[in-house]
Amino acid sequence: MGFYLIRRLGLMVLTLFGISIIIFALLRLVPGNIVDILFDSAGMVNPADKVRIEQELGLDKSLPVQYGRWIGGMLSGDLGFSYVSEKSTWDEIAPRIPVSARLAATALLFAVLIGVPLGVISAVRQNTWIDYALRVLSLSGLSLPSFWLGLLVLMAFVAAFGSMPIYTQAPQSLTDAVLLVLVPAATVGFRSSALIMRLTRSSMLEILRQDFVRTARAKGASANAVNYGHALRNALLPVVTVIGIEAAFLAGGLIVTETVFNIPGLARFLVESIRNRDYPIVQNLVMLIACVVVTINFLVDMLYAALDPRIRYSD
């Protein structure tokens, strides 16, 4: 087990190193930089001023030197400063982390609490009207685009209540504070719950046909004991894998939701920073999301052993 953990941690570090090279190279392949954008927007064409700004930002250095400075600063805790706001990169990113984390966690919780129970019910009540209704619901969740569903939710709230609280100011009441997170989280979590529901159903149906389930029924075990004590636990492994994938997606894939609901989160800020060629913000933000993703994958692998005693990570 100890050797496995060391090997996994080493692979995580190697993966993050590869991601750092890729994101650094991709940003430099995009035509133009922050200096070009500033001069184009201001209509300034003085070459001397342009060279001076590039020197101040360190963009006149070679690419290996720029990469070395970035990695060295990141390892020492110095993330640099934003080219646009001239504030510390961490000061720009830190306030947005709780916003996106709260939204992602609520969406994942919604998806799990809705998807797993409905998937189990659909499997247990196979080929009944409940199963057919839940299958239609899951297909709808997988088919509806997030941005379109978000707009429908906004229009429905405006039509029903006359307004919809958005992140333009501090919440005026507890209801507004809950709606600020709950409504967009339910919108983005609806698709994830549909995916989890379908996978839970298919995994449960496969387990319910196994010999040990028929044996448990033959011994007189109750339906609840068979469905939840035997079948569900064995069906959870693929479901946990999908939940981990969805959690990793929600860590940085909320661009559409944050844009539609005007939420000042990490994903929306990342898109704005890419548009502005704000290299320090983009590089450090992508690395932060990558760290979250590889950590989630590692925790999912560790959870396998807890859910299934047959799985052991040997040295």
For the chain, which domains are there?
Answer: 2-80 (no CATH), 95-307 (1.10.3720.10)
Placement of tokens 């504070």 in the chain: 177
- DSSP secondary structure code for residue 162 in this structure: S
In this predicted model, which residue has the larger pLDDT, 313 or 99? Answer: 99
Tokens at 64, concatenated: 């290996």
Q: Which residues of 24-38 are buried (b: 16+ CB within 10 A; e: fewer)?
A: beebeeeeebbbebb
- DSSP secondary structure code for residue 88 in this structure: B
* 143/161 Cα distance (integer angstroms): 27
Range with the lowest mean pLDDT among 1-10, 75-84, 171-180?
A: 171-180
- Which among 1, 28, 18 has a CA at the least distance from the CA of 279? 28
* 281/79 Cα distance (integer angstroms): 9
Give the per-residue SS3 of 200-254.
HHHHHHHHHCCHHHHHHHHCCCCHHHHHHHHHHHHHHHHHHHHHHHHHHHHHHCC
Task: Write down the pLDDT at residue 164.
Answer: 66
Task: Write down the pLDDT at residue 49.
Answer: 65
Which tens digit of pLDDT belongs to each residue from 256-309?
A: 777 777 788 888 888 888 887 788 888 888 888 888 888 888 888 777 777 766
Predicted structure pTM score: 0.79
* 129/126 Cα distance (integer angstroms): 9
Is residue 150 within 8 A of residue 190, CB to CB? The reply is no
At 34, the pLDDT band (50, 70, 90 cuts) reads low
Task: Write down the pLDDT at residue 173.
Answer: 59
Q: Which residues of 150-166 are buried (b: 16+ CB within 10 A; e: fewer)?
A: beebbeeeeeeeeebbb
Which tens digit of pLDDT belongs to each residue from 190-233?
A: 888 888 998 888 888 888 887 777 787 777 777 777 777 777 77
Task: Write down the pLDDT at residue 149.
Answer: 78
Which tens digit of pLDDT belongs to each residue from 114-141?
A: 988 898 888 888 888 888 998 888 888 8
Fill in the amino acid letter for 29: L
Task: Write down the pLDDT at residue 179.
Answer: 66
As beta bridge partners, residue 81 has: 88
Identify the burial level of 64 via C-beta atoms within 10 angstroms of its C-beta, where 0-12 means exposed, 13-18 middle and 19 or more buried. exposed
At 187, the pLDDT band (50, 70, 90 cuts) reads confident
Tokens at 8, concatenated: 């996994």
Cα within 13 Å of Cα(161), Cβ side: 10
Check pLDDT > 70 for residue 98. Answer: yes
Task: Write down the pLDDT at residue 311.
Answer: 65
Task: Write down the pLDDT at residue 314.
Answer: 57
Is residue 188 within 8 A of residue 146, CB to CB? The reply is yes
User: In 10 A of CB 110, how many CB atoms?
Assistant: 19
DSSP reduced 3-state for 50? helix
Placement of tokens 């929306």 in the chain: 268
